[in-house]
Structure 1
């Protein structure tokens, strides 16, 4: 068998089994992330199902102009940024905190139980989660309001209430994703050299000092990478959650780019307009990732590329 002579190809040949394991993931990304890029042209055409890609006339920047001229476009962008920022600033540290707390638990059975319970909500659809929230938080016989009544408090209309909208959005998102997102941090903690902890104990360091000076620095690079990726989703607030939790009273707070694109494309049939909104989201997300990645590379020598 002829072996490659180029240094890069030599390296790939040397680790061919590892690259073979990567092949299904590469094929998946190619089919579902790169091939669909061909459909970007829908945003620049007066697209119809009959005409298809080739038979629909070019429209230029028409649908982008329509979006920016829309009287609510500024509010929609503002809502998206506010909700995404709240999820990022409040929700991003939570998996790190959970991983740190679980790492300090010495009872293995209790630790595994907490891990399992925290992972489960990730596999529950938002439809089930919102239905559960409706049953728990309703002022008409819901257990939360019944508990408040025992303390002499008046029933609270949690859902479809502007005063509680952001709290429910961020809180339910954290509850659903905290366990799953903590897996990577738990793996990073498991990879820290245990001799560092033994040396710290000999020097008299307590458990909090060990966590602060060994565990946190040990997962720092992983946290930076995940933060860069999270910033890329800043223009995507999560359409399914907001589509279900948003109501008439909270429409001015909960109408985000994802929901606007879904409503325009599916309910109204304005496919080109919806594609333009989605492309705008993607471009801003790419710019944010490149910007934060460059800042991280200069500040900490850790980056995606």
Structure 2
């Protein structure tokens, strides 16, 4: 008879111990010693659900790593797997039709923000509270990416492998991403935030549908950016890049009155003010 390795033996012991604790309130011993399905599924705590998920992964690894297990060992591992899957509550969201799930996911991964002003919706009393609630109206917002702000995709995309496959591409397809236009006259303009972000995305750049590049000066538009990106190996979809001029109120006032950007500053602080005024640049 083949001897069990220590890893498999420990796993089987942990599985039996976990199931015994989970079913301790509903005929544990009779159920664990038989292969019949449980009559009533106990409610697991959040910690127990995480433990069950980790044990399921260990079962899959044990079944995949070594094909020399005895038949009875493989059978026991599969029985434990079936019981653990019955313990973990199913996600009703994932049981919806794919088209409905996608519509929900698009709303969940899209960037939203309150509509400027005092626009609210009066919500009627709910089962939880009799008080009326004022909910602000939301509008779609761009995802701003710069040197100090690199927002990660929503946490929904990291919940599970299935949810990541169903939601991550929607995040990049249905959001508008704002970045500063690279300054091509710099010694190495490819070191800009925009180029660095595209490099980080790798194959995900094919999901992008709407990119807005911000700029401050009209001469920044003289360079053929899309051609330069193609030359660097970034094959973006044609027409997804648009440009928008954005300047601060300080810069607008300076231009209107013809004042230098360091006007009114004390000696030694003009450099800092110039940096603040142009801090968004590539």
Q: TM-score higher than 0.5 here?
A: no
- Greater Rg, structure 1 or structure 2? 2
TM-score computed with the length of structure 2 as normaliser: 0.22
* Structure with the bigger percentage of strand: 2
**What TM-score comes out, normalization by structure 1 length?**
0.21
